[in-house]
C-alpha cells in the first residue's frame, strides 16, 4: 500500500515534468515580449509622442530591441513612439492567423502574402482600405502602380507593399570548382547540366575523394519553379488567345523541365533526400563545400561568400553569381512579384480614421531619404561608416543588432538609399538583377483573386508539387502525373481557371 502510493506520487511528478517539456512554437513569442517591455526614454520626456505598434518578421529569433539606436533614430525622425513585436519567420503565417483570430493586432502588420485568411480578413474589414488615402502622402504617392495593383484584393488596396527587386533570382556557384573542372560559366541549361555532372564526378575540390555533388534542393519548390520557367513554362498561369487560363503544369514545357530535373536526380547530381530536407538546412551543404550550385535569390551568393571568409577562413573570391541560363526558348527568368506582401494597418491597432492617417503618415516618413536609410542601414557611426568617396561600409557585428528591422520597410521610392561600398560578388549581383529584368516572365494572375483558389489553392498546389517530386523520384511516370493534373481540375482547378479568366477580363484585358 505504502509502496504503491509512493509510486503514484512518482508517476504524478514525472507526468507533471513531462508536461513541462518544451513544445515547439509556444516559446517563440517570449523573447519578443521581453524585448517589448521597457521603452522608457531617459533623454526625452516632455512631449508625449504618438505610439505606433508594429508586428514584423524575425529570421533568427533575436530581433532588434526597442532601445536600439536605429529605433531611437527612427523615433526621432518620425516623432512616433515605436513599439516593435516580432514573430519567427517559420511560423509567421500560422501565428498571424491566430493573432488575427484573437483580435489583438498592433497598428502596423507585415503581411507576407495574399493567403486565403488574409483575403478573408481584408474583406471582412480587419484592415483599413487605403485605396483612396495613400496618394495623399507625397512619398507613398510615388509607389509603383503595377506593384500596388499586384497586392490589391478585389481591386482594393489594403497596405503599402514591401518592395523587392523584380529580377532578384539567380544562381550562386563555386568559381574555384568551375576552374578546377575546366569549364566555363554555363550559358544554356545543357551547360548547367554538364557543370553539375562535373561537380559530382570530376572531383571539383581536388581532394581525391568523391565527396561532392552538383546542387542542393530542399522541401521548398523555389529552385524547381525557376528551372520550369527557364524551360519555357509560364510563370504559374498562361493566358490563351481566347482569354482562358492554363496552369503552368499543364504545358508541354513544364513536362520537359521535369524530365530535365529527373535526369539530374537519377544521375545523383542533386541530393536524393531533398523532399525531406527542411528549408532551414538548405544552405548547409553548399556552405560546407559539399555541393557547388545553389539556385535561389542572388543575394545568397554574398551570404555564402561572407561566411566562407568570416567563419571558415576561405579565399574571398570563390563564390560567384549568375542569372538563369538560356533554355530551349531563350533566356527566361522567374521574377519575384516585386513585393513580399505588404504592411497593413489593422483596425484593432488603429480604431479611428485619424489613427489610420497617423499610421500612413508614419509609413510616409519611413519612405523619405532619411527614413529609408535608417531602416536599411541604421545609424552612421553605430552601424556603418562612410568612406572618402561617400560610399557606405557596414560595420561588422557578431549578431546583427538590427535583425528584422527592415521587415516593415516598404521602400516604395527608388534611388534614395546610400551607395554601398561593395565586394565584387555584390557588384555582380546588382548587374545580374538588371540583366534579368528584360527576361522576366510575369504571372498574369498576380493581381487577380479567385475565391476557389483562396479556399482550396494551398491544397491543390500541394497536390501538384507532391506529384512533381514523385515524378522526379520515379514514383510516378508521365501518365501518373497527367492523372494528378486531371484530378486537380476535377477538385476545383477548372473553377479556379474560370474565375481567374473572368477576373482577368473584368480587369480590362
Partner 1 sequence: MNSASVQLHGNKKSKGKSKLTTIRKDLWLYILLIPGLLHYLIFKYLPMWGILIAFKDYNAYLGFFDSPWVGFKHFTDFFSNPDFRKLLSNTLIISFYNLVFGFPAPVIMALMLNEIRKEWYKRTIQTLVYIPHFISWVIIASLTYTLFNSQGVVNRYLLQMGWEKTVPFLTDGEYFRGMIIGQTIWKETGFGTIIYLAALSGVDPQLYEAAIIDGANRFKQLWHITLPSIKSTVVTLLILRLGHILDNGFDQIFLMSNSLNRKVSEVFDVYVYTIGITRGAFSYSTAVGLFKGVIGIILIYSANWLAKKVGESGLF
Candidate segments 70-78, 158-166, 242-250, 267-275, binder of partner 1 by CB under 8 A: 267-275
What is the C-alpha separation between 428 and 420, in angstroms, rounded? 13
What Rg do the C-alpha atoms of the chain give, in angstroms?
25
DSSP secondary structure, 200-247, as one string:
HHS-TT-SSS---EEE---SS-HHHHHHHHHTT--SSEEE-TTS-EEE
208: left (phi over 0), alpha (psi -120 to 50) or beta: left
Nearer to partner 1, 237 or 488 (CB): 488
DSSP 48: P
**Per CB under 8 A, 384 contacts partner 1:** no
**Per CB under 8 A, 4 contacts partner 1:** yes
- Candidates 101, 141, 146, 437; binder of partner 1 (CB under 8 A) is 101
Residue 197's alpha-carbon distances to 213, 214, 219, in angstroms, are 8, 7, 22
Distance of closest approach, residue 448 Cβ to partner 1, in angstroms: 19
Interface pattern 44-83 for partner 1 (x via CB under 8 A): ----------------------------------------
**Per CB under 8 A, 117 contacts partner 1:** yes
334 and 229 in contact (C-beta within 8 Å)? Answer: yes
- Candidates 7, 437, 506, 507; binder of partner 1 (CB under 8 A) is 7
96 and 348 in contact (C-beta within 8 Å)? Answer: no
**Per CB under 8 A, 272 contacts partner 1:** yes
> What part of residues 409-468 is at the interface with partner 1 (CB under 8 A)?
455, 458-459, 462, 465-466
Distance of closest approach, residue 126 Cβ to partner 1, in angstroms: 5
Please give, one letter per residue, the 3-state secondary structure of 122-167. HHHCCECCCCCCHHHCCCHHHCCHHHHHHCCECCECCEEEEECCCC
Listed in sequence order, the DSSP H helices in 348-493 are 353-366, 369-377, 424-436, 451-472, 478-488
125 and 347 in contact (C-beta within 8 Å)? Answer: yes
Distance of closest approach, residue 122 Cβ to partner 1, in angstroms: 10
Candidate segments 101-109, 180-188, 308-316, 415-423, binder of partner 1 by CB under 8 A: 101-109
- Candidates 10, 141, 437, 507; binder of partner 1 (CB under 8 A) is 10
**Angle (deg, nearest 10), helices 451-472 and 116-124:** 170
Candidate segments 60-68, 92-100, 151-159, 407-415, binder of partner 1 by CB under 8 A: 92-100
The torsion defined by the Cα of 137, 140, 145 and 146, in degrees rounded to 10, comes to: -160
- Candidates 107, 139, 226, 271; binder of partner 1 (CB under 8 A) is 271
Candidate segments 60-68, 90-98, 128-136, 363-371, binder of partner 1 by CB under 8 A: 90-98
> What part of residues 197-236 is at the interface with partner 1 (CB under 8 A)?
219
Interface pattern 119-158 for partner 1 (x via CB under 8 A): -xx--xxx--------------------------------
The torsion defined by the Cα of 325, 329, 332 and 337, in degrees rounded to 10, comes to: -150
Distance of closest approach, residue 189 Cβ to partner 1, in angstroms: 23
> What part of residues 461-500 is at the interface with partner 1 (CB under 8 A)?
462, 465-466, 469-470, 473, 475, 491
* Residues that contact partner 1, how many (by CB under 8 A): 48
SS3 at position 337: coil
* Closest by CA position to 53, among listed 105, 103, 91: 105
**Per CB under 8 A, 287 contacts partner 1:** no
Candidate segments 117-125, 128-136, 391-399, 421-429, binder of partner 1 by CB under 8 A: 117-125
Nearer to partner 1, 3 or 389 (CB): 3
Residue listed under C-alpha cell 482600405 = 129
What is the C-alpha separation between 297 and 488, in angstroms, rounded? 29
85 and 32 in contact (C-beta within 8 Å)? Answer: yes
- Candidates 77, 116, 386, 417; binder of partner 1 (CB under 8 A) is 116
**Per CB under 8 A, 399 contacts partner 1:** no
**Per CB under 8 A, 29 contacts partner 1:** no
The count of C-alpha atoms lying within 13 angstroms of the C-alpha of 404, restricted to the half-sphere facing its C-beta, is 27
Distance of closest approach, residue 508 Cβ to partner 1, in angstroms: 30
* Closest by CA position to 110, among listed 101, 120, 102, 100: 100
**Angle (deg, nearest 10), helices 189-201 and 252-266:** 10
Distance of closest approach, residue 395 Cβ to partner 1, in angstroms: 34
Q: Could you list the residues that contact partner 1 (CB under 8 A)?
A: 1, 3-4, 7-8, 10-11, 14, 17-18, 21-24, 93-94, 97-98, 100-103, 115-117, 120-121, 124-126, 219, 271-273, 275-277, 455, 458-459, 462, 465-466, 469-470, 473, 475, 491
Amino acid at each position: 500500500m505504502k509502496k504503491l502510493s509512493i509510486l503514484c506520487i512518482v508517476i504524478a511528478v514525472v507526468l507533471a515534468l513531462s508536461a513541462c517539456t518544451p513544445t515547439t512554437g509556444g516559446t517563440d513569442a517570449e523573447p519578443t515580449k521581453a524585448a517589448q517591455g521597457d521603452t522608457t526614454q531617459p533623454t526625452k520626456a516632455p512631449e508625449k509622442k504618438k505610439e505606433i505598434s508594429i508586428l514584423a518578421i524575425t529570421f533568427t529569433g533575436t530581433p532588434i530591441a526597442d532601445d536600439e539606436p536605429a529605433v531611437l533614430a527612427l523615433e526621432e525622425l518620425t516623432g512616433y513612439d515605436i513599439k516593435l513585436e516580432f514573430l519567427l519567420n517559420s511560423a509567421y503565417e500560422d501565428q498571424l492567423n491566430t493573432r488575427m483570430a484573437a483580435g489583438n493586432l498592433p497598428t502596423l502588420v507585415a503581411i507576407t502574402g495574399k493567403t486565403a485568411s488574409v483575403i478573408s480578413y481584408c474583406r471582412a474589414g480587419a484592415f483599413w482600405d487605403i485605396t483612396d488615402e495613400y496618394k495623399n502622402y507625397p512619398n507613398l504617392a510615388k509607389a509603383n502602380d503595377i506593384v500596388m495593383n499586384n497586392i490589391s484584393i478585389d481591386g482594393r488596396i489594403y497596405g503599402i507593399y514591401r518592395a523587392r527587386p523584380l529580377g532578384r533570382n539567380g544562381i550562386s556557384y563555386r568559381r574555384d570548382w568551375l576552374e578546377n573542372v575546366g569549364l566555363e560559366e554555363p550559358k544554356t541549361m545543357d551547360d548547367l547540366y554538364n557543370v553539375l555532372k562535373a561537380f559530382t564526378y570530376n572531383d571539383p575540390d581536388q581532394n581525391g575523394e568523391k565527396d561532392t555533388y552538383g546542387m542542393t534542393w530542399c522541401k521548398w519548390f523555389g529552385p524547381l519553379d525557376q528551372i520550369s520557367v527557364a524551360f519555357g513554362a509560364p510563370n504559374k498561369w498562361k493566358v490563351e488567345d481566347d482569354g482562358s487560363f492554363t496552369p503552368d503544369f499543364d504545358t508541354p514545357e513544364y513536362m520537359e523541365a521535369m524530365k530535365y530535373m529527373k535526369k539530374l536526380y537519377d544521375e545523383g547530381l542533386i541530393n536524393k533526400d531533398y523532399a525531406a530536407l527542411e528549408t532551414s538546412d538548405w544552405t548547409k551543404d553548399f556552405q560546407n563545400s559539399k555541393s557547388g550550385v545553389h539556385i535561389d535569390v542572388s543575394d545568397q551568393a554574398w551570404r555564402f561568400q561572407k561566411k566562407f571568409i568570416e567563419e571558415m577562413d576561405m579565399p574571398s573570391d570563390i563564390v560567384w553569381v549568375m542569372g538563369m541560363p538560356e533554355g530551349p526558348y531563350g533566356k527566361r527568368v522567374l521574377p519575384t512579384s516585386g513585393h513580399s506582401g505588404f504592411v497593413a494597418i489593422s483596425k484593432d491597432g488603429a480604431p479611428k480614421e485619424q489613427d489610420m492617417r497617423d499610421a500612413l503618415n508614419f509609413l510616409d516618413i519611413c519612405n523619405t531619404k532619411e527614413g529609408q536609410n535608417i531602416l536599411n542601414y541604421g545609424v552612421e557611426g553605430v552601424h556603418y561608416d562612410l568612406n572618402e568617396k561617400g560610399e557606405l561600409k557596414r560595420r561588422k557585428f557578431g549578431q546583427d543588432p538590427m535583425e528584422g528591422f527592415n521587415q516593415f520597410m516598404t521602400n516604395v521610392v527608388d534611388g534614395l538609399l546610400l551607395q554601398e561600398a561593395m565586394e565584387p560578388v555584390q557588384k555582380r549581383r546588382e548587374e545580374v538583377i538588371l540583366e534579368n529584368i528584360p527576361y522576366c516572365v510575369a504571372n498574369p494572375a498576380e493581381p487577380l483573386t479567385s475565391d476557389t483558389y483562396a479556399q482550396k489553392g494551398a491544397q491543390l498546389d500541394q497536390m501538384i508539387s507532391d506529384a512533381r517530386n514523385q515524378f522526379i523520384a520515379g514514383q510516378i511516370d508521365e501518365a501518373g502525373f497527367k492523372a494528378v493534373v486531371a484530378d486537380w481540375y476535377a477538385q476545383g482547378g477548372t473553377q479556379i481557371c474560370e474565375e481567374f479568366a473572368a477576373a482577368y477580363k473584368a480587369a480590362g484585358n
